[in-house]
Amino acid sequence: MVGGFSILLWIGAILCWIAYGIQYSNDKSSSLDSVYLGSVLALVVVLTGIFAYYQEAKSTNIMASFHQMIPQQALVIRDSEKKTVPADQLVVGDIVEIKGGDRIPADIRLLSAQGCKVDNSSLTGESEPQPRSCEFTHDNPLETKNISFFSTTCLEGTATGVVISTGDRTVIGQIASLASGVENSKTPIGLEIEHFVHIVAGVAVSIGVLFFVIAVSMKYRVLDSIVFLIGIIVANVPEGLLATVTVALSLTAKRMAKKNCLVKGLEAVETLGSTSIICSDKTGTLTQNRMTVAHLWFDNQVFVADTSEDHSNQVFDQSSATWASLSKIITLCNRAEFRPGQEGVPVMKKAVVGDASETALLKFSEVILGNVMEIRKRNRKVAEIPFNSTNKFQLSIHETDDPSDKRFLVVMKGAPERVLEKCSTIMVSGQEQPLDRSTAQTFHTAYMELGGLGERVLGFCHLYLPADEFPATYSFDVDAMNFPTSSFCFVGLLSMIDPPRSTVPDAVTKCRSAGIKIIMVTGDHPITAKAIAKSVGIISANSETVEDVAKRLNVAVEQVDKRDAKAAVVTGMELKDMSPAQLDELLANHSEIVFARTSPQQKLIIVEGCQRQDAIVAVTGDGVNDSPALKKADIGIAMGITGSDAAKSAADMVLLDDNFASIVTGVEEGRLIFDNLKKTIAYTLTKNIAELCPFLIYIIAGLPLPIGTITILFIDLGTDIIPSIALAYEKAERDIMNRKPRHKKKDRLVNKPLAVYSYLHIGLMQALGAFVVYFTVYAQQGFRPSALLNLRVEWEKGYVNDLEDSYGQEWTSYQRKYLEWTGYTAFFVGIMVQQIADLIIRKTRRNSIFQQGLFRNKVIWVGIASQVIIALILSCGLGSIVALNFTMLRPQYWFVAVPHAVLIWVYDEVRKLAIRLYPGSWWDKNMYY
């Protein structure tokens, strides 16, 4: 309610009251008109303020639901007793116990752990469960195995630990305070609107002051000059515009919410459109955040598995006998099980008890083979050795499902090299062959290849125990290992990865063509990160990193010219040693960048680096570790499903479906609304000249006032509101996703061509058209234009009741006043009719209206209808209310301005045609806004 236009309107209101004060001190019976006007102006400011507040509040309300946190409990040993206390009552030194499924209540150092695994993804972005033990393994607290962090989850096992920090001093707490320390900068559209307000306010104030001085030096009374000043201010300030912009933005916000982009602040709607760099987190945003079988290797061949969200399309060759064996091992050597009671749920969505890899294998086999549990039942398990980190393999012994085959089947899976050690043969096309050096070599090549893709590789082998040595009654003892654990037959390899979402590569391509640079920033390993980056197209197929170039040319990394490499993979450790200048150079010289193993602070540094390049930076993320960067970014985008509360509250936008592709929709909507706001503003600014000229002519040529201040308000806040909102529904002119993002400092919302064209071309034409209507009304009533010149003084004298017109007729003061109001109405109708033409021409900035389609945007026609209806109501219905200064108008006056409206349309079509015909010409540069 303060700042910008509001200040101008407040000044106008106060000037009104001052003017009344002066009038009142001179003449006690002076009319209250200026008091009303002042109050109306104040009311306008207050109402638009309330409106904007209401709109903002509505969109923030949606977010309120995200802030609900469930109070957390912790099991603590105090006074030799186990007690449950709220997590916020923990103190340093408390001993807490944790079991699978718990959230860690504070940062703790582990004293003992049994098979404990934690999910640190909210903190580091790594989706794999991290084993925890009480051994100190690394200097970095984030890397060492004996520390668990507040707000992460314990997935399985149990542990006891001592609390080492609580609350804000925990690692998460520090990140949170880092996020709250980052200041929110102004949104790009906010800056643009500010810039626009500056222009309009500059024009208003300088014209106002200039004409105040002119009026005073023309010996007008100061009081009159003040009234002129008020008129000029009111004419220049687009009162309805800020409300219109708010509505347009919230319409887009609604449209985006339908497409799963929930926008928290209205202005953020446009920010996405001007985004030039997206810093995307990997896990959960680009990837599906679950391990999935990606490749298989058997029969000396690599097969590709379908990693899409539903696994529906497994096309690899399943006819080989080797696959039959492999699939049996996959099915049997697996402890993961589906939770009961999920019959109707698709396989990929079923909940599973078990770790990520086993889950992946279970789902993989379930999809291909069908009922896995049934297969397991038929091959009864007689013994098993679960996976542990020393063995690095898992083994189980089963009866076979063939009743005639009494042999036991031993199946094993584990780290490929450990599995291979235990094998003496390898299966090729269902036949066991001795494992010689050359087959071992092919195995290694395949292993390295899959490993190089950033995938986790598992080896599988089996052994049929001879029935004579191990009869059906044989009792296996897993501790004594009374069965062979070597001379297995190697069957194949399987590799798993957290695969990219299927929609991401397409979205990345679209961002590319829209000129948006995508940088991957992840806490994950560089190899995995690079592999995912390649598979989604963040690093395109034919570009190389410095390391790749070095490898290809067979030279040392240092000798490679960095500019030869388009892509770069930078780890957190390398980033730590970089100066800001080096980072700038890196960001400027490489178009495809992946940052791996980064800490939250480094994400912040990367975002700042991008912003130094004058880029508008979007950051996507879901973890707590992302929240400082989300806040620092021009637009932070959090994931709605997997995102942590901290990320959601730091972000400006939430992707409800966690789908990176939704960002593309957002970019498109953002760009469209920027274009459409340009049109709205151009539309609104145009009539300012038509509203301003009457005052200037009134002062200089002394015509009876052509349009009143109240009437101007009825245009700005009445007839023009719905049409300018209607422009927000306009479709894009060209493919907006094929052009570069706008430059923050060069492509302004309101640029010079826009202002000049609106003010000096269309605005002036409109003013002239409206004046023709005005002169027509006066001339037909008896005052020909020549008689009007310098008539103002006599005209406004209340005591002159026999003023002669061009025909010798004599007019009383009130009759003149009434004619003046008729003039206001005529001028108003003149502007209104030409604003219809203005509305139609503003549908496009470059294309012909006929290319765009005159009837495609129905809302425009609603707008035009509203203009006409409001004008009719004002003129006919409310014409009897004296204070509004509207009168009935003869029907023919409604059509006087129509030729001018047509002229405006034709002129603009010519302008657009010249722009299309001569791109890059002087005309294009100066007339394309």
Partner 1 sequence: MVVPDLEEEEEEEEEEKEEEEKEEEESQAQETGSAWWRKWQIVNEYLWDPEKRMSLARTGQSWSLILVIYFFFYASLAAVVTLCMYTLFLTISPYMPTFTERVKPPGVMIRPFAHSLNFNFNVSEPDTWQHYVISLNGFLQGYNDSLQEEMNVDCPPGQYFIQDGDEDEDKKACQFKRSFLKNCSGLEDPTFGYSTGQPCILLKMNRIVGFRPEPGDPVKVSCKVQRGDENDIRSINYYPESASFDLRYYPYYGKLTHVNYTSPLVAMHFTDVVKNQAVPVQCQLKGKGIINDVINDRFVGRVIFTLNIET
Residues at the contact surface with partner 1, assessed by CB under 8 A = 198-199, 202-203, 206-207, 210, 689, 696, 745, 752, 755-756, 759-761, 764-765, 768, 771-772, 775-776, 779-782, 784-785, 799, 801-802, 804-815, 818-819, 822, 882, 890, 899-900, 903, 922
- Distance CA(502)–CA(537), nearest Å, equals 12
Taking the CA atoms of residue 40, residue 41, residue 43 and residue 44 in that order, the dihedral angle to the nearest 10 degrees is 120
Tell how far CA 306 is from the center of its chain: 30
Q: Would you say 350 and 339 are in contact if contact means Cβ atoms under 8 Å apart?
A: yes
CB of 746 to partner 1, least distance (A): 10
Q: How far apart are CA 872 and CA 880, in angstroms?
A: 13
**φ/ψ bin of 868: left (φ > 0), alpha (ψ from -120 to 50), beta (otherwise):** alpha
Query: To which residue do tokens 């897993």 refer?
Result: 478
- C-alpha 777/C-alpha 500 separation (Å) is 71
The catalytically annotated residue of 33, 119, 281, 524 is 281
- What is the C-alpha separation between 669 and 848, in angstroms, rounded? 22
Give 10 or 818: the residue with its C-beta nearer to partner 1.
818
Helix or strand (DSSP H, E) at 925: helix 922-927
| CA-only gyration radius of the chain, Å | 38
Shorter beta-carbon distance to partner 1: residue 297 or 811: 811
Is residue 353 within a helix (H) or strand (E), and if so which, with residue range?
strand 352-353
205 or 375, CB closer to partner 1? 205
Separation between Cα atoms, residue 870 and residue 863, nearest integer Å: 10
CB contact at 8 A, 616 and 271:
yes
What's the one-letter identity of residue 541?
A
Rounded Cα gap, residues 381 and 54, in angstroms: 65
- Active-site annotation holds for 281: yes
Residue type, 488: F
| Phi and psi angles of residue 639, each rounded to the nearest 5 degrees, phi first | -90, 135
Residue tagged 């802030």 (tokens): 67
d(CA 10, CA 336): 70
Rounded to 5°, angle at Cα 283 from 278 and 288: 110
Tokens of 164: 């080492």
Q: Which is nearer to partner 1, 503 or 806 (CB)?
A: 806
Centre a 10 Å sphere on the Cβ of residue 369 and count the other Cβ atoms it contains. 16
Answer whether 494's CB lies under 8 Å from 302's CB.
no
Shorter beta-carbon distance to partner 1: residue 123 or 232: 232
Q: Decide whether 755 or 831 has the Cβ nearer to partner 1.
A: 755
712: its two tokens: 């101007």
The first and second tokens of residue 168, run together, are 């804000």
Quickly count: other Cβ atoms within 10 Å of residue 868's Cβ. Answer: 16
Rounded CA separation 723/840 (Å): 10
SS (H, E, C) 133-191: CCCCCCCCCCCCCCEECCCCEEEEEEEEEEEEECHHHCHHHHHHHHHHHCCCCCCHHHH
Q: Based on CB atoms, which residue is closest to partner 1, 470 or 811?
A: 811
Q: Which of 846, 835, 848, 828 is nearest to 900 (CA)?
A: 835
Residue 664 sits at the vertex; the CA angle it makes with 661 and 669, to the nearest 5 degrees, is 135
Picking from 456, 643, 619, 443, the residue whose alpha carbon sits closest to that of residue 531 is: 456
- Please give the Cα distance from 224 to 426 (Å, whole number): 103
Which tokens is 739 given? 């052009």
- Longest CA–CA span in the chain (Å) reads 135
Hey, what are 686's tokens?
């145009």
The Cβ of residue 139 has, within 10 Å, a number of other Cβ atoms equal to 7
Nearest-approach distance from CB 759 to partner 1, in angstroms: 5
CB of 768 to partner 1, least distance (A): 5
We find the least distance from the C-beta atom of residue 578 to partner 1, in angstroms, to be: 22
Contacts 24+ apart (CB under 8 A), 501-504: 501/286, 501/287, 501/288, 501/309, 501/659, 501/660, 501/661, 502/308, 502/309, 503/659, 503/660, 503/661, 504/286, 504/536, 504/660, 504/661
Active site residues: 281
